[in-house]
Amino acid sequence: MAACALRRGLLSSVSKYNKKPTQRLLSVLDSSSVFEVNRPRLQCRACGLAGGVQQRRFMSSRPEGKILETVGVFEAVKQHGKYETGQLFLHSVFGYRGIVLFPWHARLYDRDITPPMSDSKPEPPGAHGSKEVKGKTHTYYQVLIDTRDCPHISQRSQTEAVTFLANHDDSRALYAIPGLDYVSHEDILPYNSTEQAPIQHELFERFLMYNPAKSPPFTPRDTLKAWQEKNHPWLELSDVHRETTENIRVTVIPFYMGMREAQNSHVYWWRYCIRLENMGSEVVQLRERHWRIFSLSGTLETVRGRGVVGREPVLSKEQPAFQYSSHVSLQAPSGHMWGTFRIERTDGSHFDVRIPPFSLESNKDDKAPPAGYTF
């Protein structure tokens, strides 16, 4: 709240003096988060400021003092096409600084859109409703998150980590790379910077190199290309599922992680990333989760519990979104998951938000376990 108030004060004081078309990104050194002051034609999800002016300023956090410093200069948002490797950006919902590693093309199944009956994806067995959803190609990006911003988004998002099954004999171990996220095209707010290392992440200099002759001036190293090619089956997202209930939108992205042998049987593992967004103005809080997990082996499991990942996040106009990841295993190469989140209003009443059904599919090809990022 203090950050939003600070933004409004700065906007009213600086916008009347900034008449140049240059769109600068500013860093305020004692703010509590990375956040947007203004951007045209779009609304700031962090504080609700409406777009419509051409001057745009951003602020990000550093603890030393109260000096404003330039972070970079805004670029035009791409309505079509895709952003290239090395593109600097601010996340329009969570506000962190990041850089694009590479794009993916996913099938987006949006249950808020009523499609024709042809080319639709059927419901899994036992799922709620009978609505069929058509998949539409959509661009997502694998990105690095600036580690300086991770502490300030921890209440709204886990510091995302891509997880694999570890490439050794311990079948219970997981392998994780922190500070990686998957970002939808519309969440990218591009900017450029004259810094040769504008993003702080342990993989930045290993994956990217500065080349002022290129645009963007950060180009992929051979290590990034090799890492992407080697771990392609565990990095690439294929399906994204979205559904809105009473202004609460749930987006699910499942990832296959691999298979392990345990007690003479095969156990298949998946990671799934979930984002909840409050698209309305009412303050609500997630209280419970209710999952149904169907396995191709014929089992149907029910899971109930308080909150998600040990938390019960509040979704408000100031902080409208929460994102987390979890894992699931089946003793079959495929299955489905669906369910509901129990949401509480400020008056104590509740309603259930549907989690869109999504498939758990293992890789069809017999590929080697994923490798780590050793250089």
Domain segments of the chain: what residues? 73-361
Q: How many CA atoms lie within 13 A of 296 on its CB side?
A: 13
Domain 73-361 has CATH 3.40.50.720: no
Output the tens digit of pLDDT for each of the chain's 375 residues: 333 322 222 222 223 333 333 456 655 433 333 333 333 334 444 434 333 333 344 444 444 455 666 788 999 999 989 999 999 999 999 989 999 999 999 999 999 886 544 444 555 555 555 456 788 999 999 999 999 998 888 878 876 666 666 554 555 566 677 888 999 999 999 999 989 999 999 999 999 999 999 999 999 999 999 988 888 877 888 899 999 999 999 999 999 988 888 778 888 989 999 999 999 999 999 999 999 999 998 999 999 999 999 999 999 998 999 999 999 999 999 999 999 999 999 999 999 999 999 999 986 544 454 444 333
CB 289 within 8 A of CB 339: yes
CB 271 within 8 A of CB 301: no
d(C-alpha 284, C-alpha 276), whole Å: 11
d(C-alpha 123, C-alpha 294), whole Å: 12
Name the pTM for this structure. Answer: 0.77
* Identity at 346, one-letter amino acid code: T
Query: What was the pLDDT predicted at 262?
Result: 74
What are the structure tokens assigned to 132, written together?
A: 């069929």
Query: What was the pLDDT predicted at 23?
Result: 55
Return the sign of the alpha-carbon dihedral for residues 34, 38, 41, 47.
Answer: positive
The gap from C-alpha 65 to its chain's centroid, in whole angstroms, comes to 30
CB 205 within 8 A of CB 73: no
Query: What was the pLDDT predicted at 208?
Result: 97
